[in-house]
Each structure stands twice: as structure tokens, then as C-alpha cells.
Chains A and B, each alone.
Chain A
Amino acid sequence: MNFDLADEQRLLRDAARDALARLDSVAGARDALDGAPLPDPWPTARAAGWTGLLVGEKDGGAGLDVFDAMLVLEECGRRLTGAGLIGHLAATRLLAGAAGRGDVGAAAVLPSLAAGDRCAAIVLARPPAADEKPWTVEAEAGGTRRAPLPTAQPGGGCDAVLVTGEAGYQLDAAGADLLVVPAVLGTGEHRATLVAADAAGLAVEATPRGDASRPIARVSLEGTPAILLHAGPDDLADVWDVVQALLAADALGVSEAMLEMGVAYAKDRHAFGRPIGSYQAIKHQLVEILRHVEATRSLCYYVGYAARERPSDLPLASACARFAAEDAATYATRTCIAIHGGIGTTWEHDAPLFWRRAQLSRLLAGGVTGAGDRVATEIVKHARAQAGATATT
């Protein structure tokens, strides 16, 4: 048994922490609320090789695991940065899978994406939450409302299609050079398609909501030319789970930053003649943040284990990590603000920027409610399998 970071993973994490510390990203997230451009982490990501993290070595990538990507995202969460990365990592994961099955279209774009010369994103398709529900994308307005998948019509070549549809609140879509878009074919089959940013009929509109540190956009396609990828429902589900895991890691970083900030202040700030951290009322809340952080970290490790050793557990593990991580970040950010008293509620303070990140993140990619639903679906499957296994022994 080895349920800890490997030495190379520690190096990757520490290097990410050092590299991101050089971006003034927390202050940048504040200035971006007033309309300033967000500090761009892409040059850092590219120099560090994160752009090719989930692409195999033969296509110019690093050939690393989902868990390695999570370590980078955790550091991004701590510094409120990482714009472009989740969408790019998810899209390249799917494209690398397709290329591995001989998809020439995917193979053609991978090297430039891995090198970070171009950047990709993905319109996420949500797997059916219970057996009877269809695949969906995020509706462009509304909380738990879902929209049908875009449709694909034949486009005059063997792999050419024309895609029509809309999806809202898509991570990192604005500014991407290539978009992976899920579509349902005339035959009812679900497939991923690849769309260039300059394709006819494609509109990607940035739709900032509440948190300027995380770019999201509305994507609409009207007879947009695309190529069909050799990637179907299993790949779309896999990439959905990977995005859940990456968002979980990002939220874990947010919670860690809040724990450190809250503990430092509670040791320093005095009231009634002693540090406020000596009062149980404060101390117990900080321990509760720690408990959430460690629970989330353990579930992120579970994702790492599942991704590498037990792929059938990936849906449960990633949904659990996401569900726990978003609740943890919500608790950690609001508690950190409260521990700081009045100063924590000001525009100049950093804690509210983390709170904004947590407030928006918990709504994206199916949201924390969608993650909870997937946890329920998956754990009941596991319970049924265990009962079946007991019955047959």
C-alpha cells in the first residue's frame, strides 16, 4: 500500500506553487472585477509543460495522470488562477483518447495543443444522472435546468458534420482555438466533434458571473462545420468525470488557502486580552475547515487511485471529490471571512475573492447538486454489486 504522493508528484506540486507565486493572480482577480484583464497563466502553464500534461509523449505531451493534473489545479485554486487550464486539459484528454484509436483529426491537432501553441476547450456533456434521463448540456439560463445536446447533420464528407445547438456557462471556452463539442447524430448516436474557433456559425460569448477569476462563456452553433471524432459516450463521460476531479482539486486549493489565512489571523488578532484562536468558538471552526480539507484531500487521492488502478470507480470517486470539495470551499471561505470580522468584508481583503470563486465554481459543470446526484447513483450501484457478490459467495 502506498497512499501518498510520490516524490515526482511532490516536485510537480512544489514547482507549480513556485511558478504560480510569481503571478500576481489574487490581486489580479480583484482588479478583473473592475474590468482589468486577468493575469494570464498560459505562459506559465506552457513553460511548465502543463498544457501537454494529459497528452502522451509521442504527441509531444508529458503523458501524466489525472491526479498529476489535479495537483496543478490545487495550486491554481490556492492562487485564484488557472484560466484556460481545465478546459484545455479536459479537451486534450478526450482528443488523446481518440488519437490513440486512430483518429487522424485528433492526432493532427494534438502536438500544437500539447506544446501550448494552441489552446482547446470542451462543451461538457452531462451523463444521464439516473438510467431514464438523457444526456444534456448546461442550459444557458437557469440553475438545475438542462438543455438537449447539440445535433449534428451530415456535412458533405465522411467525417464532416454541421453542428447546431447551445450551451451556457462553459469553462474556458472564450479564447480557445479549438472546441470539442458533443453532438447527437441523426442515428441517435452520441459523438464528440471538433470545431475551430473561426468556424462559420460559431459564437462564443464571455459571460462573467460573480467571479472574475474564472472565465466562462456561452457557446452557440448554427450549422457550424465540425469533424466527427472517434469518441463516444464513454469518452464524454470520462471527460465529464475528469472535469469534476479538476474542479474538486481547484476547490481544495481554495479551502487550503482559507485555512492558512484564518489560522494566521486567529493567532495574531487579540480580543479580550488573548489571541482569538484560543477561544473554542474560533478554534473549533478552524478545525472544522481542517476536517473538510483533509476529507476532500482523501477523496482526491481516491480519484487518483481510481483513475490509475480502478477506472470503474472514477465516476463515484470524482463525483464524491467534487461534492465534498465544493461544500468544503463554501464553508471555508465564509468561515474565513467571518473570523476576520469587519476587515474580512472589505473590497481590499483577499478572502472575499476566494468566496466568489467558490460561489461560482459550485454551480459549474452540473454543479454540486449534479455531483451529489451522481454520487447517489454510483454508490447504489456499488451497494447492489456488493450485495450480489455476497449472495453468490
Chain B
Amino acid sequence: MDLRDTPEQAAYRGEVRAWIEAHRHEAPPPTRGNHSVDPEPYRRWQARLAEAGLVGVTWPEEYGGAGLGPVEQLIVRSELRRAGCGGILDNIAVGIIGPTIIARGSSEQQRRYLGPMLRGEEGWCQLFSEPAAGSDLAGVRTRARHTADGFSISGQKVWTTGAQHADFGLLLARTDPDVPKHKGLTMFLVPMRVPEVTVRPLRGMSGGASFNEVFFDDVPVGDQAVLGSVSGGWGVALTALMFERATLLGAFDEIGFSAERFAAPFAEHRELADAHLRQRLAQVTCGLLSLRYSSYRTLTALSRGAVPGPEAALGKIGVIEAARQGCELIAELVGPDALEGDWGETAFNLPGLRSGGGTEEVLRNMVGERVLGLPPEPRTDKRTPFRELGRSPAGAGVPA
């Protein structure tokens, strides 16, 4: 068990640290992923970081990345945090959408979008969930109909983080309702700043507007907007979800879910901590520290070439559970004051995070089936044309 840098990594850390030292006066303060703040200073800072090669660390060099591994990416993030500097503005783009375009896009799409994405010049959002398709993502109803020039897109997306700042979106739409649900989907790169797209902020339960609902009203796009192949959208979505899992790595400490942060009020209010609260602090601590060291295990596997697997979902379940227990504990230690300010914001976001990025139940199904090899629940929708699903009584559409 060794967390030390290799000589090469230590040299890289030294370079990164030196660059940050020289430029930290330009950096905005760190955020905890709150996209409702003014994005401009973060956009400018991302451009500076991109010039220095500190954005898209794991992207191949031919696409403007640094061509390095997940450990180097963590080095950049931890050095920024150490210096008290904000990170990049658009983690969804750089962590999920960019790698998906690199993996599945045409060279024309790669040339057009990746550079401005790295520099933060163009913002992105991920247009997957819909009012009637969340856990059952392959049930999306947003329609893309063939036209003379390409496609016309109509429908509604929801829970879209960062849509209000986005110039483009990665959108999953139905192109063929006459085949089973997974087979009639296509992934598009769509413009957001056109009159046919309407973005409405949704006020989340903590009070801030962090996500949106997005309406598409006959948005025209050309054939070149298709990412991957027509009807191949489900495979592209799985690629994006795989990259999404990797963005969780090592991020928990950064977004404020560190064991030391939850223990700090105990350090200040020692006289308040009775034996019962101390036992609960132990539980929170073990939960959060196990995630820290689990992420080092995963990083080790990724740096040896493994792909981010479904077991990353266990980390997401674990962090929500530990942080929920932690927030309740802090509130009991210091009283109602913990429902305002920093702790209040953390506490009031947690119930929502349980569903974000996959509900706990769907994640448990995925881990149970793909890691433990348990059989899936019987399904009635896998072979039925999508068009017939809504009309048929449950189970009636299954071919005998």
C-alpha cells in the first residue's frame, strides 16, 4: 500500500504546483459544484488552466489533452484545492461529454467541439432524463424526426444541470418508435442558444436553482449532429454513463464530504460530545474514510488500464448515506444553527443527491446484476416496439 508519487508524478506535481503558485492571484475561490454562481470568472480561469495543459488531463494529446492518467488528474485537482483555488467550470463537459465525443464522435465533431470545450468557451449540458424517463432512461420520448436536412427535435428534458449556461447539449432522443425501446434511440449534439429551445430553471430543495427543465420545439439539426450512429444512441449513452462514474473518483473529499470536516465541530465543541454522539461520529468517519481509500483502490486499477466499473456506484450510495448521517449528527451536536449556512446547504442537498446520477435502487440493481451476477427481474418491455408499450397493459406486450 503506497500513496507516494512516482518520481515522474512528483516532478509533474512540482510543475503543477509552480504554475498554480504563479497564477493563483487570477483564480476564483473554490465552489462545491454550485452552478448558480456567476460563471464568468470560472470560465476565464478554465481558459488559463487549459493553456497550461491542466484541463482534460486524461484526454489524449491529439485532442488537446495532456495524455496523462487518472493519478495525474487527481494531482491537478488536489494541487488546486491545496492552493485554495477554484477548479474548472465545466466538469460535465470535460469529464463526461468530451470523452464521449472522443470515443464515439466523428473527426469533424472532435475538431469542432473539443477545443472550445477545454477552454471553457462553450458550455455543455447532458440532456438525458425526462419527466417520464429517469431510472428507465431507455424510455425517453423526446422525438427526433427525419427531415429533408436532417432531424427535427421535439420534447422535454428535466434535471438538467448547467443548461442555463450551456451552448450545446448531449441529447438522447427517439428516432424510431417502431422497434424495442433500446434500439430506436439516437444521440445528438444539439445547440442550446436557438429560439426553439427554452430553458426554465427549477428551484431545488435547498433553494438554489441548480438544475433546469428544457423544452425542444421542432429544433432543426443536421445529420452531422448525430453522435455515433442513428439508432445507436443507447450504446453512446452507456459510454457517457461510464465516464460519469469516473468523475466521482476522489471527488467526495473535494465537494466537502471529508471525514475531517465532519469531525471539526467536535473539535470545537468537545464538551458537547457524549458517548452516544461519539459512536455516531465513528460511523460517519468510517463511512467517509472507507470511500477515500476505496477511491485510491479504483485509481490504482484505472491507472493500470481498467475501465470504470459498476462498483463505483457503491461509492455514491456510501457517500450519500455517510453525509446524511453526518449532517444529522452535526445538527444534534450544535443545534438548529447547523440548518443554516454551510452545513444547512450540505444537509438540504442530500436527499436530492440520493436520486441524482442514478437512484439508489437502480444502482443496487446494476451492482447486484453486473458485479454479483444475480439474475435480473423479469421484464415486459425488452422486445416490444416502443410505440406499443404505453398502450398495452403490463406484460401483455411480451411475445409468447
A71 to chain B, nearest CB (A): 12
The stretch of A30-38, A103-111, A226-234, A304-312 that contacts the partner chain? A304-312
Q: A373-B275, A375-B285, A382-B263 are in contact. Are A290 and B290 (CB under 8 A)?
A: no
B374 touching A380 by the CB < 8 A rule?
no
A369→B279 CA distance, assembly (Å): 7
A280 touching B372 by the CB < 8 A rule?
no
A41→B331 CA distance, assembly (Å): 50
B376 touches which of A278, A304, A319, A324 (Cβ 8 Å): A278
Q: List B contacts of A295 (CB < 8 A).
A: 286-287, 290-291, 294, 318
Q: List A contacts of B275 (CB < 8 A).
A: 373
Which residue of A has the minimal Cβ distance to B372? A263
B374 touches which of A1, A277, A371 (Cβ 8 Å): A277
B317 touching A291 by the CB < 8 A rule?
yes
B375 touching A275 by the CB < 8 A rule?
yes
Q: List B contacts of A327 (CB < 8 A).
A: 283
A286 touching B279 by the CB < 8 A rule?
no
A385→B311 CA distance, assembly (Å): 33
Judge whether B335 is part of the interface by a CB distance below 8 angstroms.
no
A302 touching B378 by the CB < 8 A rule?
no
Which residue of B has the minimal Cβ distance to A144? B275
Judge whether B303 is part of the interface by a CB distance below 8 angstroms.
yes
A376 touching B273 by the CB < 8 A rule?
yes
B375 touching A274 by the CB < 8 A rule?
yes
A1 touching B2 by the CB < 8 A rule?
yes
B286 touches which of A2, A277, A299 (Cβ 8 Å): A299
The secondary structure that dominates the B interface is: helix
A283 touching B374 by the CB < 8 A rule?
yes
B2 touching A294 by the CB < 8 A rule?
no
Judge whether B12 is part of the interface by a CB distance below 8 angstroms.
no
Which residue of B has the minimal Cβ distance to A3? B296
A379 touching B372 by the CB < 8 A rule?
no
Judge whether B3 is part of the interface by a CB distance below 8 angstroms.
yes
B282 touches which of A1, A301, A372 (Cβ 8 Å): A372
B294 touching A323 by the CB < 8 A rule?
no
A296 touching B290 by the CB < 8 A rule?
yes
Judge whether A383 is part of the interface by a CB distance below 8 angstroms.
yes
A380 touching B267 by the CB < 8 A rule?
yes
Q: List B contacts of A387 (CB < 8 A).
A: 264, 267
Judge whether B24 is part of the interface by a CB distance below 8 angstroms.
no
A277→B266 CA distance, assembly (Å): 42
B395 to chain A, nearest CB (A): 13
B294 touching A308 by the CB < 8 A rule?
no
B372 touches which of A286, A302, A316, A324 (Cβ 8 Å): A286
B286 touching A267 by the CB < 8 A rule?
no
B299 touching A372 by the CB < 8 A rule?
no
A1 touching B372 by the CB < 8 A rule?
no
Q: List B contacts of A380 (CB < 8 A).
A: 263, 266-267, 270, 273, 281
Interface size class of B (residues with CB under 8 A): 35 or more
A19 to chain B, nearest CB (A): 24
A309→B3 CA distance, assembly (Å): 9
B378 touching A1 by the CB < 8 A rule?
no
Interface residues of A in 279-298 (CB under 8 A from B): 279-280, 282-284, 286-288, 290-291, 294-298
Task: Indicate with 1 or 0, residue by residue over B274-317, a CB within 8 angstroms of chain A CB atoms.
Answer: 01001101110111011111101101110100000001001001
A377→B377 CA distance, assembly (Å): 45
Interface residues of B in 189-206 (CB under 8 A from A): none
Which residue of B has the minimal Cβ distance to A321? B286
A97 to chain B, nearest CB (A): 21
Judge whether A54 is part of the interface by a CB distance below 8 angstroms.
no
A267 touching B373 by the CB < 8 A rule?
yes
B355 to chain A, nearest CB (A): 16
Q: List B contacts of A101 (CB < 8 A).
A: none
Q: List B contacts of A377 (CB < 8 A).
A: 278
Judge whether A239 is part of the interface by a CB distance below 8 angstroms.
no
A324→B321 CA distance, assembly (Å): 14
A298 touching B374 by the CB < 8 A rule?
no
Judge whether B221 is part of the interface by a CB distance below 8 angstroms.
no
A3→B295 CA distance, assembly (Å): 9
Q: List A contacts of B391 (CB < 8 A).
A: none
Task: Indicate with 1 or 0, residue by residue over B355-395, a CB within 8 angstroms of chain A CB atoms.
Answer: 00000010011011101111111100000000000000000
Interface residues of A in 318-336 (CB under 8 A from B): 319-320, 323-324, 327
Sample 20 A-B pairs with CB under 8 A, ordered by A number.
Answer: A1-B4, A1-B5, A2-B1, A275-B374, A277-B372, A280-B364, A283-B369, A283-B374, A284-B361, A284-B365, A286-B368, A287-B368, A290-B372, A298-B294, A299-B290, A309-B3, A319-B282, A323-B286, A376-B278, A386-B260
Instruction: Name the 4 nearest CB pairs between A and B, nearest first.
Output: A372-B282, A295-B290, A305-B1, A383-B263
Besides A275-B374, A283-B374, A383-B261, 4 other CB < 8 A contacts? A2-B300, A284-B364, A287-B371, A291-B318
Q: Which residues of A contact B (CB under 8 A)?
A: 1-4, 67, 259, 263, 266-267, 274-275, 277-280, 282-284, 286-288, 290-291, 294-299, 301-302, 304-305, 308-309, 316, 319-320, 323-324, 327, 369, 371-373, 375-377, 379-380, 382-384, 386-387
